[in-house]
Amino acid sequence: MRSQRVLRDYVQSKWMLYLLAVLFIAAANVINSFYPRLLGQFTDQLQGGHMTRPLIIEYSLSLLAVGVGFGVLGGSGQFIVMRLGRLFEFHTRKRLFAHFTTLSERFYSKNGVGKMLSYVMNDVTSVRESISQGINQTTNAIILIFSALAMMLLSHIPLYLIVVCILPLLFIPWLVTRFGPVIRKRSLTVQESLSKMTESAEEQFGGIRVTKKFAVEPIMIGRFGATVDRIRDNQLKLVRVSSLFQALIPFLGALSLVITIVYGGYLTIHNRISLGNFVALSLYVRMMVNPLQQIGNVINTMQRSRASLERINDLLSKEGDIQEAESARACSLDHAAIEIDGLTFAYPDSERPALNDIRLRVEPGKTLGILGKTGSGKTTLIKLMLRVYDPPAGTIRIGGEDIRELTLESLRDQIAYVPQEGFLFSTTIRDNIAFYRRDSALDKVEDAAKQAQIYRSITEFPDGFETKLGERGVTLSGGQRQRTSLARGLIKRSPILILDDSVSAVDAVTEKSIIDTIREERKGKTTIVIAHRISALKHADEIVVLDEGRIIQRGTHEQLLNQAGLYATLHAIQEEGSFDDEGLQAL
């Protein structure tokens, strides 16, 4: 895996703007550090009886200039940093989503939607807050502390007094090394529990209809509540240590202020320092307390966000299982034969082959039918053709080219795949059908709908093709969803069309009409049809029967009927009208 440093890369690309923001904030704090010195000088002038009207005006204007300079420069710097933080959030979320599209099916089989959302929402926000607040507060704190120290020396405050007053602050580095790793570790645990909660919520929302139909609301509430309880427990553990850390730093600052007042006041009473120096010293130490509080907040936030940043970097370092070869090339699949030679394949986490020694050849423009029990390897074969999983080298060729040597875009762009459970998006019916090319003319969308026998149902909706679908197409029935998905595949007009049991949810009459239309529309183009019902396959130029990953029969419809075997048995059952998926599974 290649290492990723998403934050470092972003900061390097925007370093000039960050530098400008830091300079603005630094200048603002340098200007602000003149405030105690001016008040100290004013106090000495007042105590010495030298105060005049012009001096009062001069000091007033000087303090006003300090306030305006601090506000304008500091505000400008903070605006730049905050804007850059939002841009980081924007670019990182786009980068994460783009990266999600490169990951393989194997990755998604192990990671739920909720976990992916947690990366995009919780982790990115955490990092954005840390860099926005961190740069602002760190620059404020560091510059203000050093400016205060410099001004104390320029104000002729004794060096030994300064050292004694800031002595408690020397314990801060020890606190950072002691609490930092603990906060980071507990923050990572919190983020992981948030991921599990998000994943659980997504699952609960997706299955809310099942929950209501079975009246198991208390059970689901208990399951979700358990994930929330884990978050609470983990966050309380984090709060205990982070609160103690954040409390100790201001305590050290307050202790410094106490020493300043006691020791500095003692020296002032004995005339060893002037009253103006005492006032300036007290204000400078008081001024340093807030930066110390900010440093505590920054360190706390940084440790928390570091856990999120590690998660993001780790995710971006993952590569999809399917990678294009360096020499990959685009290739036209028009009038290309499909050749499968000695294909044996087992899923990565399985020792048992899903396919064993598959040998097929589909001539250009022909139709191949595939029949088999559930789990016989039908869909696995299609996934390998689409390179959802990689087949062994040289086992699948299209147009004489090993599909592993083709670019993924050219391969998948020229194959229209219609699964049994077609996913519909929460947009209009027109956008769902024209998903492959959103700018498709309405007449082409309507033609595809007519071919899929869904046109009449769509026109009966008040808004027709502009009807908005609910989540995952809940507005439509099962058969309507399947036919809408079929129309999405047909409008693509690809050289190769794969129907993976795509008419299983429609009645026999509609199925026949759809198959007849597809045969007419796709003359001269290659079609692969997977089905449980023989009526959807009997028109195919060749039919293969799969069982336990092997081809056990092949031939035309008439040839297979004359052979003793699964195909003839299944045909007899279906002719009697008693066929269903459970019947096929039992064979």
pLDDT at 471 (0 to 100): 66
| Residue 474: pLDDT band with limits 50, 70, 90 | low
Q: What is the DSSP string of 364-386?
A: TT-EEEEEE-TTSSHHHHHHHHT
d(CA 111, CA 109): 6
Give the pTM: 0.68
Of 106, 1, 84, 90, the closest CA to residue 316 belongs to 1
521 CA to centre of own chain:
40
Q: Among 301-305, 323-327, 396-400, 497-501, which is the least confidently predicted range? A: 301-305
Of 505, 497, 490, the closest CA to residue 446 belongs to 490
d(CA 86, CA 249): 29
d(CA 541, CA 365): 10
Residue 91 has pLDDT above 80, yes or no: yes
pLDDT at 586 (0 to 100): 43
d(CA 514, CA 572): 23
pLDDT at 584 (0 to 100): 43
312 CA to centre of own chain:
9
Per-residue pLDDT tens over the stretch 389-408: 888 888 999 888 888 888 88
d(CA 303, CA 130): 9
pLDDT at 349 (0 to 100): 75
Average model confidence (pLDDT) across the chain: 81
DSSP 168: G
Top pLDDT among 240 and 212 is at: 240
Residue 578 has pLDDT above 50, yes or no: no
Find the mean pLDDT for residues 352-372: 89
Residue 414 token pair: 């020229």
pLDDT at 579 (0 to 100): 45
d(CA 475, CA 424): 10
Find the mean pLDDT for residues 329-346: 87
pLDDT at 577 (0 to 100): 57
d(CA 164, CA 142): 20
Q: Among 81-95, 277-291, 335-349, 528-542, which is the least confidently predicted range? A: 277-291
CATH superfamily of 331-414+533-587: P-loop containing nucleotide triphosphate hydrolases (3.40.50.300)
Provide CB contacts within 8 A for 477, sequence distance 6+.
none
d(CA 11, CA 35): 33
| Residue 173: pLDDT band with limits 50, 70, 90 | low
Q: Is 333 exposed, middle or buried (0-12, 13-18, 19+ CB in 10 A)?
A: buried
d(CA 451, CA 442): 14
Query: Sign of dihedral through CA atoms 573, 579, 581, 582?
Result: negative
The domains of the chain are located at 7-317, 331-414+533-587
* Backbone conformation region of residue 509, classed left if phi is above 0, alpha if psi is from -120 to 50, else beta: alpha
Find the mean pLDDT for residues 347-357: 84
pLDDT at 2 (0 to 100): 42
| Residue 107: pLDDT band with limits 50, 70, 90 | confident
Find the mean pLDDT for residues 341-358: 86
Query: Contact at 8 Å (CB) between 188 and 307?
Result: yes
Residue with tokens 């129907």: 499
Other Cβ atoms within 10 Å of 517 Cβ, number: 15
Provide CB contacts within 8 A for 162, sequence distance 6+.
149, 152, 153, 281
Residue with tokens 């550090």: 33
C-alpha pair distances (Å), 525 with each of 496, 535, 558: 6, 21, 23
Find the mean pLDDT for residues 457-467: 86
The strand order across the sheet containing 542-547 reads: 415-418, 496-500, 526-530, 367-372, 542-547, 550-555
Find the mean pLDDT for residues 533-555: 88
Per-residue pLDDT tens over the stretch 40-82: 777 777 777 777 788 888 878 888 888 888 889 888 988 998 8
pLDDT at 234 (0 to 100): 86
Find the mean pLDDT for residues 377-382: 88
C-alpha pair distances (Å), 371 with each of 339, 535, 568: 18, 11, 12
d(CA 542, CA 551): 13
Per-residue pLDDT tens over the stretch 118-137: 788 888 888 888 888 778 77
Name the architecture of domain 7-317. Up-down Bundle (1.20)
